[in-house]
Amino acid sequence: MSYSPATGPDSSLAGFAHLGAIVGPVIPWLVWLARRNDDPFVTREAAKATNAGMAFLMGFAAATLIDLFVPLVGWVGRLAQVAIIVVAVALCGNAFRRVRRGIPTSYPVQVKVVTLGE
């Protein structure tokens, strides 16, 4: 099955915001700040990516704390860190592909940092 991806800065910036959510909420938040008054599609998608990036960051921080400070079961924290990275890459990659096609996307878990403006 072939498709033609949506062209233009709308889908590109929205896709960049979702890929940036892999490393945390800063990159999607900057995209949201830059385009929040210009393009509603990019604004919504960057807000979703920022919220998901914050959820990934909080989960990774909690797993790191478990790894560092819980004796005997610190390996669980390390395992959780790897799992969070794998899940973040998979979800953000899927969101990137959907947004590049012009289809709005969502994440199963979000921490409300930025409102969607809906």
How many structural domains does the chain have?
1
Confidence band, pLDDT 50/70/90 cuts, at residue 71 = confident
Section 18-39 average pLDDT:
92
Q: Answer whether residue 92 shows pLDDT above 70.
A: yes
For residue 34, tell me if it sits in a domain: yes
DSSP tag of 37: T
For residue 4, tell me if it sits in a domain: no
Which residues span the domain enclosing 16?
9-100
pTM of the predicted model as reported, rounded to 2 decimal places:
0.85
For residue 68, tell me if it sits in a domain: yes
